[in-house]
Amino acid sequence: MELTDKAILAIVERGKAEFIVEKAKEAGAEGATIVYGRGTGEKEFQKFFNLHIESSKEIILIVTDSNKAEPIQEAIIKAGHLDKPGTGIVFMVSIENLFGLKHREEIDM
C-alpha cells in the first residue's frame, strides 16, 4: 500500500473554504486544514486595474493518497470555480518523509 504522499493546496476568497472542503470530502478527502491569510498583491492590482480586491484569503491544505488526489483537486476546482481568473489558485505537490498521519512501515536497513 502506498503511503499518503500528495498535498493539495488551494487559496480562495474568504468565506468559501468550508463549502469547497465539503465537496473535497465528497470526492474522497478524509479531512482538511483551513488557515486564514492575507494576500500582498491588493495595492498593485488596484493600481493597474482600478478595482478593489479582498486581500483576506483562506488556505486549504489536504494531504491524501496519490490515487485520490486528482478527483479531490477536480472537486476543489469545480466547487471554487477555480478555472475562472481571479477566483483563487490550487496546486498539488508530492510529499516526502511524512510523519504524524499514518504509521509508517518499518524499512529494513
What is the reported pTM?
A: 0.80
- If one counts the domains in the chain, the total is 1
The count of other CB atoms within 10 Å of the CB of residue 9 is: 16
In a domain, 109, yes or no: no
Task: Count the neighbouring beta carbons within 10 Å of the beta carbon of residue 59.
Answer: 15
25 in any annotated domain: yes
**pLDDT (tens digit, 9 = 90+) per residue, 8-42?**
999 999 999 999 999 999 999 999 999 999 877 66
Domain that holds residue 20: 6-77
CA-CA distance, 91 to 98, in Å (whole number)?
18
